[in-house]
Every structure is written in C-alpha cells, then in structure tokens.
Chains A and B, each alone.
Chain A
Amino acid sequence: MRSQIYAWNSQSQSGGTQRWTNANTGNSVSIFIGGFGNNITKPAETTATQFVVIEDVAVSPTAFGTSGSFGTYRGLTSSGASAATANGVYGNRAYIQVRINTTDYFLDPDNVGNDGIPGAASPYPRSTSFQPCFNLYPDVYVLPGQVFDALVTCYQNGAFASAATLEGNQLSAFMKYTLYDGPDALIANKLLEMGISINPGNVDWYKRTLIQSQSAPAMA
C-alpha cells in the first residue's frame, strides 16, 4: 500500500519527448504518454494484482482579468503578444481530465465528456493566491487490469513559460494516488464489493478483522 505521485512538466524533454508549444493548444494530451514533457515508457495500467485509487488531480492555475491588460498577474503571464491582443486571461486556461480505459470521468450536465477539472479550481502548485475549491471525493478507482490516463487541455496560446525548470506559470500537472498491491489489492476488491470506501485506514481495519476472526477460536 503505497502513496504515489506523478508530476508532469510540459517543458521537460526527459525520455526524448518534445516541449509543449502553442501548436498543442486546444488538444488534450496525456501526461503519461502524450509525447510532450516528461513521459513514461508505456500507458499507465494496473496489473491483475494491483488496485489504484486516484485521490487528487491538479493543473496549472488560471486567473481572470480585463482585456487589454498586458503583463503578469500574480506570476501568471497574460495572453496575447501585446495589449491589443490580450483577452484578460492570465495563465494557460488549463484543464485536467481522468480517463479509465476509454471512459472520461468528468461530464457536463448533458452527459457529454468535458475538459475536466479547471486549474482555477484545482491549481498546481498551490499558493495563497491560487487555492483549491475542488476536492476529488469520492475518489476514482482503477480496478485490476484497467488502463488509466490524465489528459491536459489548455486553451490559451503564448501563456506559458519555456524554462525547463518548474517555475512561474509553466504548464504542469499533478496526480496523487495510492497503489494497493498483492494482498492489499485483494482486500481493496473485497472492500469495493462491500461498499466500503477504499483507503489505507479501511484496508488496515479489514486486516485487523481477519486477524481477530482467525485468533478468536484459538483463544476460545
């Protein structure tokens, strides 16, 4: 049972990937295997003996202002190349969607998949200027054998820094999850059947009840 994170930096080229550019604006890109920023070697998936619980997702923040204002606002770069083209959006106007196999998790009220959680609601990194108003609860479960992905979409051109280190308003994303492996994954499946939330506390509780039920006859 291990707490895990994955941080994505759009300007990293580790693994031979490309840096994110304006050409990708409007496209949803996987933070794991999208070909931009730091990537991993294969799609994120659980084996038959693994269970993943995604507990938080976050992406670069966005701030809203007035068109014609060109410059920075709390560290975020305004859109456009000059005041004439600035539309009042600061930052990337980025969103992050969770996908399990081929199903998008976040939907609009008309049941059509949307872009996901806005960076303005779940910012990464967090600061006093950019605080979350979204909490991923209930958590997202990735059952054994499923493929999962996090897709970033941004709608603002020219509003991200190009430095390779994570700073300022560079487009970046973050995922926090807990990986249950081996016997703990079996217990996680059992808890799912029982309608009990899967978290480390409840997995430990189930283990204790197993131990108590085994030791009770011996004590008697």
Chain B
Amino acid sequence: MSMRSQVYEWSNLAPTGQTSSLRRTVDAVPVAVPTNREYDVFIGGIGNNITKPAETTATQFIVIEDIACSAYLGGALQVRINTTDYFQNPDVTDQAGVPGLASPYPRGSSNVAGADALTSYTQLLKSFDLYPDVYVLPGQVFQILYSLQTANNTGVATTVVAAFVKYTLYDGPDALIANKLLELGVTINPNNVDWYKRTLIEQQQRSRVAATATNGGSA
C-alpha cells in the first residue's frame, strides 16, 4: 500500500456552539464563513479540521489530482505549496483560484443553494480538469484554501458549503521513485511508477545474466 488514492472532504459543519471540530460530528450545524477571506480546509478553524498542517514527510510524495467546491456564493479553491499560490492572474497577482462553478462539488449540484423545484436548478458539470497535476515534494507544506464572495449567513439561515480534494499519496520506495521520475521529467502517476519498477527489475535481470555469463555459466 505504498501508493494510495486519498480524498479529503471539508464542510463548514461543526457542533452547535463551535466553529470547528476535529473530525466529523453527528448532526453538526453550518457556521458562517466570512467573505473574501481564504480559509485552509485542513486547519482553518471552520468546519471539520485535522490535527496539524498538511505536509509531506521526508519519505512521502503527494500528487494533487482534483479539487472541487460548492458552486454557489462565489466559492473558489486555491492551492498553496509552502507560501506560493498555485493559481495566479496573467499579471502574476493573486486570485481566489478555481471557482466552484468550474469544478462543482458534488458533481451535478446546483449553482443555487437549496433550489428545490425541479425546474429551477442547473445540474453543473465540471469545466476544469487539474492537469497537469500539482506535486507536493517531500518536506513541503500544502494548503487548500476556500473562499467565498457572498455571505453564507443571512442571520436567519446559514448555507452549507463544502470542498473536496483528491490526491495520491506515494510513500516509502514509491516516493523515491516519484522523485526519480520528477528528475527525469516524466509525469508522476501510478502507471509510470509501475513502469519504472519494471525497468529496474529488467535491469537487475540483465545484469544477473551478464554476471552468470562472465562466470562461465555458474551463478
């Protein structure tokens, strides 16, 4: 299991009277998310969080393959590696990142929150594909930052917003191979990691045969 498909889902749901919780809780209620501010979905202090910033150890390599968020209220997701934002404007200024309208979560959801009537909603499809993937090298910290432009709290009701990240975690020997592929300029994905393993095995077999031949047929 040194190469594993992983997901992380965040929503602004927390126990009553709290703004965040470690892991998920039963019957959690939505909390307000201030507008035009970026919140880390891992440790941002809103909704379900984890115990420490998301980072790779010296023996891990992460490839982020997809990000998505609620399509309403002007929601967007940004990826930050260490202190560098991945998505930038053409003039190299900051931007909010991938809008939920381009990469909706859940897929097929509406661009209007809680639109009940069958005739009044859109079933959104993705118009964004995170390709090439985003690499998180060993020892790097990564953040997935959610922001919205329109308030999700009217004082009477609060809208639930969510975000989703899909990534592959390469650990141990597979992380070493991922680093090697990066050096070679080869795309890092499970197929290419397997291909590199096969070439290593073939090389070993060839050198074993060559060594046997050199020793006059005895191993």
A-side residues, CB < 8 A to B, are 25-26, 61-69, 71-73, 79, 87-89, 93, 100, 103, 105-110, 112, 114-115, 117-118, 120-121, 123, 127-138, 155-157, 194-197
Contacts and interface: CB of A to CB of B under 8 A. Distances in A.
Contact of A128 (B68, B108, B166): B108
B7 A117 contact: yes
A63 B27 CA distance: 14
B97 interface: no
A77 to B, nearest CB: 12
Given A129-B108, A156-B27, A194 B198 contact: yes
Contact of B160 (A87, A105, A118): A87
A138 B3 contact: yes
A216 to B, nearest CB: 17
Interface string B1-40: 1011111110101000000000111111110000000000
A138 B27 contact: no
A133 B126 contact: yes
Contacts, number: 157
Interface residues of B, number: 56
Contacts of B66: 133
A89 to B, nearest CB: 6
B116 A71 contact: yes
25 contacts: A64-B106, A66-B158, A69-B114, A73-B116, A87-B28, A88-B160, A89-B13, A106-B7, A108-B8, A109-B54, A110-B51, A110-B54, A120-B106, A121-B7, A131-B107, A134-B166, A138-B3, A138-B168, A155-B28, A156-B26, A156-B27, A157-B27, A195-B194, A196-B194, A197-B191
